[in-house]
């Protein structure tokens, strides 16, 4: 016995089912089993006239038979399809009951029963029942017959049926298309199938409105492959109107909205709006007729578009018949222009925030909103334009762009940044003007609002325009003109600029130049017989530097003879009038002159010249009675006309010297000149001085002062030169007696002898007395003679001549080389036994084997013990001989010394260390190679070069091995090297060594401001350090802590060129903080700069300012977007619910504050929903703002094609009809997995066969990528080679080639009228284009496609498709229907 624990049933697209039964031993058993229904239909509700398919699946052993109740006799149009398949040993049976056309009487209970001769088991049943309900169609008020092709059918405004009567007998299968589309027949739509031959138009007005007044229908008999086309229009007075769709456009444009109306009689169109005044807009209306059908076109021209033109516009068509109104029909569209304020004013250094939004509900989906500045740069990627701390250079035009899927609209806002005024003087701060003339003071100013400008004068009084003052001002410039200047106009003039944001002023100093005041304190400082000297002081200079001084004089004693004017430089305060008459009266006028003219009051001085000067005196005697004085005596000629001498000027001048004056009383006639030089020739003269001045000098008289005897010569000494000579030496006397010593005189005698021997005219301080006697004592004395007198003789000095026994001196000993270099050798020596005679000299001679032509002898004084031989050749060997000489002769033995000079060039030193000891110092050490063959370094040249700079040199003593470079730049890399300098010159440099000086810490980066931007962010700005510490600032460290808290925490490290940062991390509302900024130059950090700031507490959140928008809805999903209202937001709350339910059961989501978009999924298709959004923060939540949307219906597929076999060579089309599709794509394939045949061309929803063959037969699958997954529909195509079927009777499906008869062409041209284009011209142009297109269509195999809207909401494009699968675009923006 089989015991089954469970049934596991799986269903796939082919309706195959499997069941696994296991016995207790786990083995399979395929013995006889009762039938079991695995799948049965659910209860079904359909509309009348639709196709119904019911499926039952069963399995059993043997294979069961499935029967249906009621049977085919009870339900006409019924087909039953049975198939079976064996899988894993089990046989499955699938049975399909198909009702081609449902009618209401078909409603009832249906059942399927499976039987196979085995009794039913307890585990399942073999019969299942379900309910089928067929909804009734609305009845037809009128029925209209189509009995011929291309027939016009005129219907009433009521549910109407179109009866198609095709020739050839009773139709078996009809399909209907409307405007070339087969998407008709579904429940709830305007058009319904009614049985097979009737098409129900439930609402003709609604349908004809969408078809622009004329509806093209086609009934097609798929059995006979014949069809009729008909044109449906209204047959009675009626009104149909079609207007534009909702529009979003930019501001400042011209928008043309077109409305088309149809009806009998022809209606009248009027335009209205909700609140916009349309009187300022233009409307253009015209009517078009082709003899059978007429319509009216009205164009509303909205210019310019702006936010205030955002409104709902309605075009209303009305018609009357026999004075009776036939009613009104209207069509509305929503015009939306971005709402941005035309102008915005904001104060500098505050925050700017401008919102771009749309008002009103529109069907247009917005994809993005952003702001750009006047340069086209994007400054905000959302609807809010925000600029923190705005500056005046950010003034300009900002554009908000709102983009949709097909277009974009723009609106501009002019942002004006207001700022306090600034006034500044144009030109010099100090201005000079001449009295009587005019002067203009200029002042430039800036500020918004434009400042109010005033001028104030020297006393602070406000100046008003009058004849004396003229004020001219513009928007940024003002001028004050002072006419006919007077002296009191001098002073400071201030330009004051004022607006409500502040006050600014700038001053100019005006000096009115008038003629200067007369000079003061004019006094006579000197008079003579021919000159008058005077001086004066300046008074007020008239605000203009004195250019010159004018002096004129005249004498009453010489009227008409004398009168002269002197022009003196302005800096002069005195003058001398010369060439005057003696003893004459003079009037002297003194006037000052400046740029404005002469002094108004001239100063007059009266004075007179003195009588004639004294005559020259006569010197009668000039003599000297002591060595430093001269006595002079003079006489004068007595003359009563002269003023007596008040004093005498005695002038004396030594020979070859400069004159000296001495003043003597006027009563004297004798005077002694004292303090003169002895023995000197003097020239002397004198002149008298009286009130007339200095008189003439006497002639020169000369005489010489007397000479004294010189003092005694000093330090008399004697030395025995040899056995017969004595050398006598002495020092000159301390006093030469007033004259240079002419010579010396020596007297000597043998001691005990009375007479002296004289040696005269000795001109040196040494003398050798020869031819003396041996072993004799001599007495010697010296006297000095100055050409006039002999000095007293020196005390006697005795000297004895030595006896015989004097020998040559011993040779020098201990001869050593003390120094040597490249060109010199220094040596010293000691002397031994002098041979009983003082050494007379030392003789040194030298020669070189390298240079045999060189040889030199030195003769030195006897007391010298060292010498330096110079001018030698470098690196040469020398023989040196030293000889001592006394009175007897040279050394008995010659001493020869061999030595050599050093080489010239130094070797390069080596820098062993270079290190920084401060920010401006580098210490260096170096080593040298010790080489005795080289001349040592006398100095060192240290060269140091900063990175990227020029080298500098410093000289260091040659004995040093360490040196510190000072005055360097901080934080700078230096390259250092050095070279030695010796007698040979500059040696080679050492290799470069590099190191960097130490960097100091930067100074404090001063915080300029620390202000809360909002409750949770702080904007801090700072100025860079005044001193970067020697290295560029690398970055700034921003730190913050709660006031009075612990350590600072670092919130950011910003780059060096950034001087502002917004702190958001960890900032709480209503909290006091300390903010500090630290500068770092990469080597050291600055002292922090500190500032306190308090954040304001968070207030309630703002609600959404614009309703949330829903776009991209599918049958189960919707995308919700909204615009952030600004302010502090923690998150958003989003709720949604079906519109027929309350919010208590709404689904709630929390959305992050950074997101303004959310996708809702799991929705019910074709259902109305409400969605609402609110803002939340820690304070509270805002009010909800709601919106409503409707999900789409789920998609359904149906393939339309020939149901009977088609002959080989036929051209046909399969059409995949998608009901409630969601803009997705359709893919065609074959069920067997093979590729589409070459004759099959997939064009979207159509599969075109150019010429079918027998192998073209098969099952073709249409797959639609729906939002919830792909769905498919299969179609079986059967190609027959029966010769009875003629290709000539075949027509393409569903497209029908237009007949060769003339097709009435009805076109509605929708255009945008430009300003100034006459309506009649435009209509004429359109008519010509239509006729050309019409003629082309009659001769070409093209069919008309659906009119498609282009990017403009006011225009349509006409698309034509050929039977050869090519597409053309008409060069006119038109739409049309045949």
CA–CA gap between residue 1326 and residue 1303 (Å, rounded): 19
Residue with tokens 């051209």: 1211
Largest CA distance in the chain: 202
With a pLDDT cut of 90, the percent of the chain lying above it is 18
Give the three-state DSSP class for 718. strand
Q: In this predicted model, which residue has the larger pLDDT, 907 or 756? A: 756
Is the separation of the CB atoms in 710 and 736 below 8 Å?
yes
The model's pLDDT over 1105-1159, given as tens digits with 9 standing for 90+, comes to 778 888 767 778 888 988 888 777 889 999 999 999 999 889 999 999 888 899 9
- Alpha-carbon distance of 529 to 612, in angstroms, equals 5
3-class state of residue 488 by DSSP: helix
| Comparison of pLDDT for 1334 and 255, the residue scoring more | 255
Quickly count: other Cβ atoms within 10 Å of residue 280's Cβ: 8
Which residues are 1185's β-sheet partners? 1173
Q: Averaged over 348-357, what is the pLDDT?
A: 87
Mean pLDDT of 759-764: 88
Provide the residue count of the chain: 1378
pTM over the 0.75 mark: no
pLDDT tens-digit profile of 546-587?
888 888 888 887 776 556 767 676 768 888 888 888 778 888
Which among 327, 158, 179 has a CA at the least distance from the CA of 234?
Answer: 158
pLDDT of residue 1135: 95
The pairing of beta strand 1157-1160 with beta strand 1118-1121: antiparallel
In the chain, what is the straight-line distance between the N-terminal and C-terminal CA atoms, in Å?
74
Q: Point out which residues pair with 1300 in neighbouring strands.
A: none
pLDDT digits (tens, 9 = 90+) for 836-866: 777 888 888 888 887 877 777 777 777 788 8
Is the pLDDT confidence value at 379 over 80?
Answer: yes
pLDDT tens for 576-620 read: 888 888 778 888 888 888 888 888 667 788 887 777 667 889 999
Looking at residue 1109, its pLDDT comes to 86
CA-based nearest residue to 1199, from 1179, 1184, 1213, 1220? 1213
> How far apart are alpha carbons 859 and 864 in whole angstroms?
10
Helices (H) and strands (E) in the chain, counts: 2, 106
Question: Are the CB atoms for 60 and 120 separated by under 8 Å?
Answer: no
Highest mean pLDDT among 556-560, 623-627, 1033-1037, 1368-1372: 1033-1037
Please check the confidence at residue 1207 and state whether its pLDDT lies above 80.
yes
Is the pLDDT score of 623 beyond 60? yes
Digit-coded pLDDT (tens) for 1070-1088? 888 889 999 998 888 999 9
Model confidence at 31, in pLDDT bands (50, 70, 90)? low
pLDDT tens-place string over residues 180-231:
554 444 333 344 444 456 777 766 665 565 455 567 777 776 566 677 778 7
pLDDT of residue 1211: 81
Task: State mean pLDDT over 1317-1338.
Answer: 49
Q: CA angle, corner 1359, sides to 1353 and 1363, nearest 5?
A: 165
How far, CA to CA in Å, does 41 sit from each of 110, 130, 1358?
10, 7, 46
Query: What letter would DSSP give residue 1239?
Result: T
**SS3 (DSSP) at 716:** strand
Residues above pLDDT 70, as percent of the chain: 79
pLDDT band at 359 (very low <50, low <70, confident <90, very high): low
Which whole-number Å values give the CA distances from 632 to 624, 648, 672, in the listed order?
Answer: 9, 13, 6
Q: Quick one: the chain helix, strand, coil %, rounded to 5? A: 5, 50, 45
Angle at alpha carbon of residue 685, lines to 679 and 687, rounded to 5°: 155
pLDDT reported for residue 187 = 33
pLDDT recorded at residue 564: 72
The burial of 323, by beta-carbon neighbours within 10 Å (0-12 exposed, 13-18 middle, 19 or more buried), is given as: exposed
Task: Give the chain's mean pLDDT.
Answer: 78
Which pLDDT score, from 0 to 100, does residue 700 have? Answer: 93
Per-residue model confidence (pLDDT) at position 454: 92
Q: What angle do CA 929, 932, 936 make, to 5 degrees?
A: 70
Q: Identify the pLDDT of residue 224.
A: 64
- Check whether 537 has a pLDDT greater than 80: yes
């Amino acid at each position: 016995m089989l015991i089954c624990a469970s049934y596991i049933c799986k269903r796939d697209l082919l309706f195959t089912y499997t069941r696994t039964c296991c016995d207790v031993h786990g083995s399979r058993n395929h013995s006889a089993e009762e039938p079991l229904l695995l799948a049965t239909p659910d209860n079904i509700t359909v509309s009348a006239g639709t196709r119904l398919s019911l499926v039952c699946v069963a399995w059993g052993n043997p294979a069961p038979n499935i029967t249906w109740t009621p049977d085919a006799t009870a339900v006409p149009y019924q087909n039953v399809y049975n198939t079976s398949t064996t899988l894993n040993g089990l046989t499955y049976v699938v049975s399909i009951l198909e009702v081609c056309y449902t009618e209401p009487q078909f409603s009832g209970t249906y059942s399927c029963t499976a039987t196979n001769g085995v009794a039913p088991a307890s585990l399942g049943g073999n019969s299942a029942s379900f309910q089928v309900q067929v909804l009734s169609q609305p009845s037809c008020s009128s029925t209209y017959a189509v009995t011929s092709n291309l027939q016009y059918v005129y219907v009433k405004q009521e549910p109407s049926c179109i009866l198609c009567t095709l020739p050839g007998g009773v139709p078996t299968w009809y399909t209907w298309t409307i405007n070339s589309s087969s998407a008709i027949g579904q429940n709830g739509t305007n058009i319904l199938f009614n049985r097979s031959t009737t098409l129900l138009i439930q609402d003709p007005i609604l349908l004809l409105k969408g078809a622009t007044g004329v509806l093209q229908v086609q009934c097609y008999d798929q059995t006979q492959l014949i069809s009729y086309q008909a044109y449906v229009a209204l047959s009675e007075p009626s009104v149909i109107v079609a207007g534009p769709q909702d529009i979003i456009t930019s501001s400042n444009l011209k928008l043309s909205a077109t409305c088309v109306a149809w009806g009998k009689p022809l209606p009248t169109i009027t335009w209205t709006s909700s609140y916009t005044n349309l009187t300022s807009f233009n409307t253009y209306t015209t009517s078009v007729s082709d003899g059978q059908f007429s319509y009216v076109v009205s164009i509303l021209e909205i210019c310019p578009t702006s936010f205030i033109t955002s409104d709902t516009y309605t075009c209303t068509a009305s018609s009357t018949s026999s004075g009776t109104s036939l009613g009104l029909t209207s069509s509305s569209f929503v015009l939306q222009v971005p709402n941005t304020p035309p102008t915005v004013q904001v104060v500098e250094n505050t925050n700017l925030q401008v919102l771009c939004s749309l008002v009103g509900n529109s069907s247009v989906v917005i994809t993005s909103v952003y702001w750009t500045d006047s340069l086209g740069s994007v400054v905000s990627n959302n609807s809010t334009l925000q600029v923190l701390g705005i500056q005046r250079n950010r003034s300009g035009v900002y554009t908000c762009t709102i983009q949709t899927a097909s277009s974009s609209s723009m609106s501009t806002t002019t942002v004006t940044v207001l700022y306090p005024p600034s006034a500044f003087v144009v030109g010099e701060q100090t201005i000079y003007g001449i009295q009587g003339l005019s002067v203009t003071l200029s002042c430039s100013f800036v500020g918004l609002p434009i400042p109010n400008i005033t001028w104030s004068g020297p006393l602070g009084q406000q100046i008003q325009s009058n004849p004396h003052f003229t004020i001219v001002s513009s928007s940024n410039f003002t001028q004050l003109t002072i006419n006919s200047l007077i002296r009191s106009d001098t002073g400071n003039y201030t330009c004051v600029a004022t607006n409500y944001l502040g006050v600014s002023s700038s001053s100019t100093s005006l000096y009115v130049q008038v003629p200067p005041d007369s000079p003061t304190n004019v006094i006579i400082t000197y008079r003579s017989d021919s000159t008058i000297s005077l001086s004066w002081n300046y008074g007020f200079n008239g605000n203009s530097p004195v250019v010159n001084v004018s002096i004129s004089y005249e004498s009453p004693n010489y009227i008409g003879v004398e009168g002269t004017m002197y022009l003196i430089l302005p800096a002069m305060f005195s003058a001398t009038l010369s060439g005057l008459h003696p003893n004459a009266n003079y009037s002297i006028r003194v006037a000052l002159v400046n740029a404005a003219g002469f002094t108004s009051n001239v100063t007059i001085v009266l004075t007179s010249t003195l009588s004639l000067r004294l005559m020259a005196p006569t010197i009668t005697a000039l003599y000297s009675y002591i060595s430093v004085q001269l006595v002079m005596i003079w006489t004068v000629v007595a003359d009563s006309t002269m003023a007596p001498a008040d004093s005498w000027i005695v002038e004396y001048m030594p020979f070859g010297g400069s004159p000296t004056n001495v003043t003597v009383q006027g009563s004297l006639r004798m005077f002694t000149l004292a303090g003169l030089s002895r023995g000197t020739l003097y020239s002397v003269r004198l002149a008298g001085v009286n009130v007339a001045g200095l008189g003439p000098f006497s002639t020169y008289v000369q005489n010489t002062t007397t000479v004294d005897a010189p003092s005694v010569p000093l330090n008399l000494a004697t030395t025995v030169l040899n056995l017969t000579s004595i050398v006598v030496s002495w020092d000159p006397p301390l006093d030469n007696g007033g004259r240079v010593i002419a010579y010396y005189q020596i007297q000597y005698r043998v001691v005990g002898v009375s007479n002296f021997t004289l040696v005269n005219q000795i001109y040196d301080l040494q003398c050798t007395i020869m031819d003396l006697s041996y072993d004799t004592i001599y007495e010697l004395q010296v006297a000095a003679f100055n050409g006039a007198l002999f000095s007293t003789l020196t005390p006697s000095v005795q000297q004895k001549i030595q006896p015989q026994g004097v020998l040559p001196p011993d040779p020098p000993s201990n001869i050593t080389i003390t120094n040597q270099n490249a060109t010199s050798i220094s040596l010293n020596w000691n002397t031994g036994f002098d041979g009983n005679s003082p050494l007379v000299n030392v003789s040194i001679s030298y020669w070189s084997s390298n240079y045999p032509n060189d040889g030199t002898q030195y003769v030195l004084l006897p007391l010298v013990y060292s010498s330096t031989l110079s001018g030698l050749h470098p690196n040469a060997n020398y023989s040196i001989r030293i000889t001592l000489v006394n009175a007897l002769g040279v050394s008995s033995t010659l001493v020869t010394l061999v030595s050599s000079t050093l080489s010239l060039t130094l070797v390069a030193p080596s820098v062993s260390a270079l290190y920084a000891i401060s920010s401006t110092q580098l210490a260096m050490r170096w080593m040298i190679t010790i080489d005795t063959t080289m001349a040592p370094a006398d100095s060192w040249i240290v060269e140091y070069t900063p990175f990227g700079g020029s080298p500098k040199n410093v000289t260091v003593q040659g004995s040093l091995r360490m040196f510190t470079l000072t005055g360097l730049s901080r934080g700078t890399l230096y390259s250092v090297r050095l070279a030695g300098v010796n007698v040979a010159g500059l040696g080679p440099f050492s290799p470069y060594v590099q190191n960097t000086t130490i960097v100091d810490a930067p100074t404090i980066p001063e915080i300029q401001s620390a202000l809360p931007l909002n409750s949770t962010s702080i904007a801090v700005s700072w100025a860079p350090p005044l001193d970067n510490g020697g290295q560029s600032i690398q970055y700034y460290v921003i730190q913050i802590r709660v006031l009075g808290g612990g350590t600072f925490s670092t919130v950011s490290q910003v780059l060096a060129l950034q001087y502002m940062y917004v702190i958001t991390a960890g900032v709480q509302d209503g909290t006091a903080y300390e903010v500090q900024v630290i500068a770092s130059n990469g080597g050291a950090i600055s002292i922090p700069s500190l500032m306190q700031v308090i954040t304001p507490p968070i207030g309630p959140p703002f609600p959404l300012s614009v309703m949330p928008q829903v776009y991209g809805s599918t049958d189960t999903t919707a995308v919700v977007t909204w615009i952030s209202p600004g302010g502090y937001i923690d998150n958003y709350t989003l709720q949604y619910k079906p519109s027929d339910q309350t919010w208590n059961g709404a689904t709630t989501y929390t959305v992050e504050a950074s997101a303004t978009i959310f996708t809702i999924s799991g929705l019910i298709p074709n259902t109305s929903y409400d969605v609402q959004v609110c803002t939340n923060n820690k304070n509270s939540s805002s009010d909800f703002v709601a919106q409503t949307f409707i999900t789409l219906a789920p998609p359904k597929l149906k393939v339309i094609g020939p149901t009977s076999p088609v002959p080989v060579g036929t051209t046909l089309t399969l059409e995949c009809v998608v009901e409630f599709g969601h803009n997705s794509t359709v893919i065609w394939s074959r069920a067997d997995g093979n590729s589409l045949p070459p004759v099959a061309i997939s064009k979207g929803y159509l599969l075109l066969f150019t010429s079918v063959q027998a192998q073209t037969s098969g099952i073709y699958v249409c797959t639609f990528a729906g939002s919830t997954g792909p769905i498919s529909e299969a179609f079986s195509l059967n190609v027959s080679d029966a010769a009875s079927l003629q290709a000539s009777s075949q027509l393409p499906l569903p497209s029908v080639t237009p007949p060769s008869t003339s097709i009435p062409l009805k076109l509605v041209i929708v255009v945008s009228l430009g300003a100034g284009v006459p309506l009649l011209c435009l209509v004429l142009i359109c008519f010509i284009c239509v006729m050309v297109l019409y003629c082309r269509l009659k001769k070409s195999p093209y069919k008309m496609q659906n009119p498609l809207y282009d990017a403009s909401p006011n225009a349509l494009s006409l698309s034509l498709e050929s039977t050869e699968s090519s597409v053309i675009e008409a060069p006119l923006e038109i739409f049309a229907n045949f």
